[in-house]
Chains A and B, each alone.
Chain A
Amino acid sequence: MNSMNKRSLIPLLLILLAILIGPYIWGADPYAQDLTKALQAPSATHWLGTDQYGRDVLGRVLYGGRVTIGTSVVIVLLAALSGTVFGILAGYKGGLWDWFVVRLGNLFLSLPTLVLAIALSALLGGGLDKVAYIFIILYSPKYARLARSLTKELKTAPFIHIAKLEGKGTFHILWHYIGPNINHAIITTAALDLGVVLMELAGLSFLGLGAMPPTPEWGSMLSAGRSVMQMAPWLVLGPGLGIVLTVGAVHIACEQWRKGYEV
């Protein structure tokens, strides 16, 4: 399969490990308030200090990672999956369905996604779930377009023709012949999008449109820490570094995954 350098996955795996197992090891409750310990600087008991309500910042960063990374992964997976299904069908079947997908895809691509995401989530009243739906809808046309053009190219290939002559059904051809040949392009795009979606999601939460307090989420934690940044910069640094490291780790893995296919 892909001859990628497996070591490039290490940073990403470490981050996933940290957010999956970290909260159990660290053990601090991300919701437990203790106003007597508010805004403490980083110390041996609180490695990243405490916030305005005396909550442990490291605990919140670890839990926040689950929310932020988890939501972004779900968004990208669902967008890629739905878009690909529509795109493959459009590319393979052609006709009216194809026309519809192409038009819709073009329209969505000629739009400022972030502006729409901000406006729509503001109109819907915000909330992590609504933002997620909006992102899925805004991102899936991209995959539909990609899957469609790849399928269209493959459709006329001899091996597809032979499969048809052998009497294989449409679903069988799409699943066993087309799918395996286009999935690496889809996965590459999805992996690249993951970092972007994560940052945009955190950005919307930062504006107060995504996750609502007290839910620990990196974007909303940054926004909450912003007002006391002068006294307690660790409130901003913790979740901020979380985002930077995660997106960086995704980029590193992506780069190697792509190189694995180029060789």
Chain B
Amino acid sequence: MWIKVVRRLGEGLLFLLLITSLTFFIMHMTQDDVVDVVYSQQQSLSYEEQAAKREELQLNESLMTQYGRWLGQALQGHMGTSYVNGEEVTTLLAKHLPATLTLMGAALGITLLGSLPLGILCALRVNSWYDRVLRLWSMLGNSLPNFFTALLLMYVLALQLNLLPVIAKSNSLEGLILPTLTLVIGMSAKYIQQVRTLTLGELQKPYIMALRTRGVSWWHIVRFTVLPAIWPPLLTLMALSCGSLLGGVTIVESIFMWNGIGKLAYDAIVSRDYPVLQGYVIWVSVIYIVLHSLVDMWQQRLNPQEAKAGEFHE
């Protein structure tokens, strides 16, 4: 097993190097740099001043020199400073990460708390009225892109009903409600469906019938056999949605002005603040790779058979 873990981490590191190199070179190939976009807009710089600014940011050295310097620093944990406000990228990201994690945690927690009972309920009574309603809901939720959900919620709850401020004070509890709700609507659709399918699969197994004939209650069956059985695949799903959330929150955060790393990335895109954008890609990739490896290991502990089989199978 440890060999597998090491190999996985090795692959992850290799790929990280690949992405960073790729993003680095693409970044420096684009025509207009930060001096054009940011500094020229703020104050009209003369040609000489622009050149001086490029000199200061070391943008006019050869590409390989810049890459070498950047990689050397990155390995020591320095990902450069923001072109826009001169702050260290690592500090910037660390400052914004908690907000994103709060949002993701809230959204995932609420989704799980809601979908688990609802999904199991549907599986126990297939084709009942609530099963149909929730299936319709799943379909709708799966078809709603989160930026549209966000705008709808904003329009209904904030603009029409005046229940919440449109743009809440940054990172207050009030401001957490709308982005969380947006993410929950999208995810719960997927989770209810998934929990329902998994539970149905488990309930169709013969041993459930055996338990029932012995008079074991549904509650007991769900609590002690179905839940432990559907837990591992659900965990995988959670890890996967953490990954897609890291990307998905970019849009939601920038709509609701939630000051997390998603919004940081969006602002970096707008102002071509390359070091920040690159730092963001690296951080998110690291989180994603670590998360996936952890889930993999955990699953193998839960099911050692699969681990053995997995070594032969790509």
On A, residues with C-beta under 8 Å from B are 102-103, 106-107, 110-120, 122-125, 195, 199, 202-203, 206-209, 219, 222-223, 226, 229-230, 233, 236, 240, 243-245, 247-248, 251-252
Contacts and interface: CB of A to CB of B under 8 A. Distances in A.
The prevalent SS among residues of A at the interface is: helix
B155 A236 contact: yes
Nearest to A118: B250
B116 to A, nearest CB: 23
Given A118-B269, A207-B250, 10 more contacts: A111-B15, A111-B288, A115-B246, A123-B30, A125-B30, A195-B142, A203-B145, A207-B251, A222-B147, A226-B255
B82 to A, nearest CB: 15
A207 B139 CA distance: 25
Nearest to B255: A226
Contact of B155 (A113, A202, A233): A233
A87 to B, nearest CB: 12
Contacts of B285: 111-112, 115
B307 to A, nearest CB: 17
B100 interface: no
Interface string B9-42: 0011011001100110011001100000000000
Contacts of A248: 139-140, 143
B277 A123 contact: yes
Contacts of A120: 22-23, 26
A240 B152 contact: yes
Contacts of A203: 145-147, 251
Given A110-B12, A124-B30, A118 B265 contact: yes
Contacts of B314: 102, 106
B190 to A, nearest CB: 11
Instruction: Enumerate the 7 nearest inter-chain pairs by beta-carbon distance, A residue then B residue, closest first.
Output: A114-B247, A247-B143, A122-B269, A248-B143, A240-B148, A199-B145, A115-B247
9 contacts: A115-B285, A120-B26, A125-B30, A125-B31, A199-B145, A202-B147, A248-B143, A251-B142, A252-B139
A112 B243 contact: yes
Given A122-B269, A123-B23, A207-B254, A222 B31 contact: no
